[in-house]
């Protein structure tokens, strides 16, 4: 990708920040629950991480006025995302991966690195910086069954190791209580064989397509997501696909989320009892999260198995 595209996304983000720097967001009810307008709900899924949603589908970038910061802390590392909205346009930046997270695609890595990570409880290493922006194309916000919205998003994924940037786009919408989304983006990962004693490196290129459909009623949000690799150039990505069902419930100051994930891929699975890798095409995982609304501008919570390590991670979100 030419540098001008990266600069353009950066300028959009800066413009959003400058144009809205004199205003405050309504509160977390708008940012987290996304009920401050039909266009906000159009980009939402039950995924408790807004940053993770954005890295998968750029149309999920919140467009409502305000500045948001999300962090996920695990094992002395923090994955963070920054979001800025000005009303009908929003922008986001995140130096974190969606790969090898519960709601993302499988991470690409050589078998020895996969085993070493699992044994030592290390999350998949970050290689990319994500820039995304979203635009409201159409919106009508009246009663639940008399509302609609459509948002378009574009993003660039810059790999800090390969020095390459790949582009992607996404579309999301809402029709009454129904939500839907689609994204398509190019991506790549640098594979380092140093753990085997070799100096050989390889760039694995691939395209990702995602689909989602959901239902939002009162305090409940249910959605189904499907992710798959298209035209892969790396063996583990052949026919790889992920299906996720997520249910989120807001009760007073608590947000409770549960999810099930089914991954079909030739990548081996880690057996925690024997501490070895086994050949298993279909892999199943579950996820749980609890978030607490501290104030109108802050929420904190715990995520279980977000990094697919059966770990416990801490998350916090602020929105001004």
The pLDDT, as a whole number, for residue 146 is 78
What are the angstrom distances between the C-alpha of 171 and each of 68, 202, 241?
A: 21, 32, 20
The answer to whether 263 touches 240, Cβ cutoff 8 Å, is yes
CA dihedral angle for residue 19, residue 24, residue 26, residue 30, rounded to 10 degrees: 60
Given a cut of 60, whether residue 4 has pLDDT beyond it is no
Question: What percent of the chain has a predicted confidence (pLDDT) above 90?
Answer: 68
Per-residue pLDDT tens digits for 107-131: 989 999 999 999 999 999 999 999 9
Q: Mean pLDDT throughout 97-104?
A: 94
Angle (CA) 226 232 234, round 5°: 120
The pLDDT, as a whole number, for residue 218 is 84
Given a cut of 60, whether residue 267 has pLDDT beyond it is yes
Domain ranges of the chain: 3-319
Handedness of CA 212, 186, 70, 36 (dihedral sign): negative
Yes or no: domain 3-319 corresponds to CATH 3.60.21 = no
Distance of CA 260 to the CA centre of its chain: 16
Residue where the block lists tokens 């899924």: 45
What is the value of pTM for the model shown?
A: 0.85
The pLDDT, as a whole number, for residue 8 is 47
Q: How far apart are the first and last CA of the chain?
A: 33
Residue 299 phi/psi, 5° resolution?
A: -140, 145
Q: Mean pLDDT throughout 30-45?
A: 51
Structural Rg of the chain based on CA atoms: 19
27-41, 147-161, 290-304: segment of lowest average pLDDT: 27-41
Strand pairing class (201-217; 220-230): antiparallel
């Amino acid at each position: 990708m030419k540098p001008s595209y990266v600069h353009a996304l950066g300028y959009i983000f800066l413009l959003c920040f400058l144009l809205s720097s004199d205003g405050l967001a309504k509160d977390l009810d708008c940012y987290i629950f996304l009920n401050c307008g039909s266009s906000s709900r159009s980009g939402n899924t039950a995924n408790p991480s807004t940053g993770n949603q954005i890295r998968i589908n750029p149309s999920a970038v919140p467009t409502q006025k305000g500045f948001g910061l999300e962090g996920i802390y695990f094992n002395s590392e923090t994955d963070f995302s920054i979001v800025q909205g000005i009303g009908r346009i929003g922008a986001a930046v995140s130096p974190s991966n969606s790969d090898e997270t519960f709601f993302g695609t499988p991470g690409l890595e050589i078998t020895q690195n996969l085993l070493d990570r699992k044994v030592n409880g290390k999350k998949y290493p970050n290689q990319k910086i994500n820039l995304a922006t979203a635009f409201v194309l159409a919106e009508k916000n009246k009663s639940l069954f008399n509302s609609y919205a459509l948002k378009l998003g574009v993003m660039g994924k810059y790999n800090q190791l390969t020095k390459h940037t790949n582009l992607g786009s996404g579309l999301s919408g809402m029709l009454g209580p129904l939500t839907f989304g689609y994204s398509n983006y190019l991506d790549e990962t640098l594979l380092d064989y140093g753990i085997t004693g070799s100096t050989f490196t390889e760039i694995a290129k691939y395209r990702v397509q995602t689909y989602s459909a959901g239902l939002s009623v009162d305090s409940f949000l249910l959605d189904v997501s499907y992710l798959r690799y298209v035209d892969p150039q790396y063996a583990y990505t052949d026919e790889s696909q992920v299906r996720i069902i997520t249910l989120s419930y807001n009760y007073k100051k608590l947000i409770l989320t549960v999810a099930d994930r089914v991954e079909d891929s030739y990548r081996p699975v880690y057996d925690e009892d024997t501490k070895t890798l086994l050949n298993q095409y279909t892999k199943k995982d579950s996820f749980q999260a609890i978030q607490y609304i501290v104030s109108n501008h802050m929420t904190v919570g715990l995520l279980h198995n977000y990094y697919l390590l059966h770990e416990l991670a801490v998350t916090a979100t602020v929105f001004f």
